[in-house]
Amino acid sequence: MRAPSLVIVTEDTDGRWSWPVLQGRYDTAVVVRPAEARAVLELGVRNLRRLQYHDPAAPGWRVIARLLGPLEAVNAALDSPPTAHRRRAMLDVIALLLTHSAQTGRSYWGWDTQEWARLLGRTQAEFRQHAPAWAGDEVRPYLAAHAYLLGSFNEFHQLGSFQRLTLSWRIFGRERITSEIARIRTVLGTWGYQLGQADDTLLPSVACQLFLLNHSPHLEDMDTALFDRVRRDRLLEGSQLNTLHALQRAVATLGFCDPPLQSTGRHSARATGGAKIWEQWADRWHNTSTLTPRVRGSIRSTLLRVGRWIAAEQPDAADPTDWTRQTCATWIAALDRMKVGDYVQRTAGLGDRLGKPLEAPTKAGQITALRTFFRDCQEWEWLPRHFDPLRALAIPRSITALLGPDPRVIADEVWAKLLWAGLNLDPADLPQTRSGHFYPFELVRAVTLTWLFSGQRSNEIVRLRLGCIRWQHDGAPIAGDSEQVLARDAICLLDVPIHKTGTAFTKPVDPILGQAIDAWQAVRPDQPKFTDRRTGEHVELLFAVRARRLSTSYINNTVIPMLCRKAGVPDADVRGNITSHRARSTIASQLYNAKEPMTLFELQAWLGHRSPQSTQYYAKITPNTLSKAFSEAGYFERNVRTIEVLVDRDAVASGAAATGEPWQHYDLGHGYCTYTFFEQCQHRMACARCDFYTPKDSTRAQLLEAKDNLQKMTAAIPLTDEERAAVDDGQAALDRLLDRLADTPTPAGPTPRELDVPASARLLPLIAVRQGSAGPASR
């Protein structure tokens, strides 16, 4: 007679799911006995599949009861609608497993992962290649359930696009799976997750993948090791990793595991390479240092790069205890000649920079990292002091000469367009994914205006706290729940957290920024507290949604390209790419060059710098301001004066000028000088009234001024220091000039002492020159 079906209790009394087929209840011998193999062969496919004319009383059923019992127990435990289609598929699975066991001589208890994967096939087409012709496509999903419950097969990532949700429903029960996923959705929904079509597909799929891996459908059984295993073995990829992050945050909030680690520490911990002992020293330093996780990870990455160089070039120095001053000098010399991509673990993402010489900041950073390592190891008494790291690993002068802060100001016309784009941002400008906008519009607008108006570094922007905006009017605070309209002259204050160069401080910002942040805070979903990466505090971050903080690269990778597209400007200029930090320099420069500019110390306080020296690098004087200052300094007018010249065209046209008749008259204010080489005369600015001089009150001068055929021009005259002082400083300098020229002959021959000209009379030409035009011109 046919072996009776086994009904297995699949739940404990507390409602928890338990494994339906326990191997301790069955004969799990791997080898198929000859009688069992003959019984399967005698029963045949018709009986095994239990078709319409099968023989339920055949003696072979009793012989194969050991193999048949667990299979029917699995079928009884599966949660699937009791339809004819379901019964037909599960009976075909039993027939397939019994036939395969008899053919191979090994029962399903002894099949390894590879054999189950080969039987299931990586795709439906591959399954059809190995399965008998009578096995339909509907057999494969139920076969996967038997592989999981009988053989603990868990490599579902090898099966391609397999329906994990449906499989989990069959194994663990649809109601139980739906209830556990609903708990996750409840937590994620309070954080701002928009559980639309994409999330409804990804979240159940990822959750069921974890349920299957964990052999339990209960969130309480998910621990940190499970999530770490999924990441370590790379069982998920792409957008599934984002869903995994959210799922772990939700499970951690429920109190069943730890929150996910920061990406910086996790990625740096995977980096390997170089000599093993050197890598161990790098890990020891990394686990002991008190620097921030990001800095520790960066230094460790550099140390491993040094380790690869050691393994290739200096294998005798693999142990840091063997390093000497000569080893340091050899490494610095090698670093100075290295190219981008040398001794790195992978070159993906380097692009066209691969093979180019390292830049000075990169060289300096790697030297500083190695110096920090040896300095700490010596101070912690891990290493003997064979050399002084501060001297042996000092940055060479050839590199330091190329270093220095270089804030790059964005051109005013480009910055004005970016401001316009930010102020006129609308939802259509935001980049979209298949499920819509990744971040709410209010958050993106608040981040954008914070970048455009606050002058903060990108890591300071993403670390702003909830409630960082405060309003004041006439020195009195304005209540956040006040219904009054903010006065036009209300002051908006921004609280900046502890930052790179100092402690927390408060700065005034434009009210437009405050209004944008208030708009985001009004719709911001409640978020869990995050660990501040700099201070280690648990704080409520302003820019967070779906239990994830805003990335520090979001401004560079998303906001700036979005604004450039809207403004119609390129995302790079002659000084390089437009990056988040360039806004800080641009805003500082504009505040320093405003009509009512901020002083250097005021700008220092607004930027949050520790010293005014740092602010000086940001306070760039614009070309317009510099041009105005240069013009007002009067460099040309200080060195060159102009004097009016009258040209007698009648004397030139009649040929009288060729016979010695004066034709060029330099206007001295009180008279005219007809000396042709006036600019060479030593008495030009202190006229001695020689024979070339014609006073304006004489008849000759009046006749000259009455001529109709006169051409007026101006001549530029370069001045000596004494002459310029006589013009600029007045009577005292003039007297000194006259005393020096008292015995100097005039163009006519006599000296001023012989002509006996009073000094007061000689002052008039200077006054006339001062009243002349501002620059050389002709008309």
State how far the Cα of 32 lies from the Cα of 101, in Å rounded to an integer.
Answer: 7
Most confidently modeled range among 83-92, 335-344, 637-646, 718-727: 335-344
Torsion of CA 319, 325, 330, 334, to 10 degrees: 90
Average pLDDT score, the chain: 82
The beta strand positions in 583-731, using DSSP E, are 640-648, 664-667, 671-673, 693-695, 710-718
Residue 718 Cα to chain centre, angstroms: 56
Higher pLDDT, 468 or 354: 468
> First CA to last CA across the chain, in angstroms?
129
Query: How far, CA to CA in Å, does 68 sit from each of 37, 73, 91, 107?
Result: 13, 9, 11, 11
Residue 275 is inside which H or E element, if any?
none
- Side chain identity at residue 97, one-letter code: L
pLDDT the model gives residue 730? 60
pLDDT tens for each residue of 426-474: 999 998 876 678 889 999 999 999 999 999 999 999 999 999 999 987 6
pLDDT tens for each residue of 278-329: 999 999 999 999 988 889 999 999 999 999 999 888 888 889 999 999 999 9
pLDDT the model gives residue 239? 78
pLDDT tens for each residue of 31-74: 999 999 999 898 988 888 888 778 888 888 999 999 988 888 88
DSSP label of 583: H
Contact partners, residue 700, CB within 8 Å, separation at least 6: 694
The rounded radius of gyration (Å) of the Cα atoms in the chain is 45
Listed in sequence order, the DSSP H helices in 124-221 are 124-130, 139-151, 164-172, 174-190, 197-214
Query: How far, CA to CA in Å, does 7 sit from each of 21, 108, 689?
Result: 10, 20, 135
pLDDT tens for each residue of 681-728: 877 767 777 878 887 777 666 666 666 666 666 666 776 766 666 655
CA-wise closest residue to 32 among 20, 23, 41, 24? 41
State how far the Cα of 576 lies from the Cα of 6, in Å rounded to an integer.
Answer: 74
493, β-bridge pairs: 470, 508
**Beta carbons of 275 and 304 less than 8 angstroms apart:** no
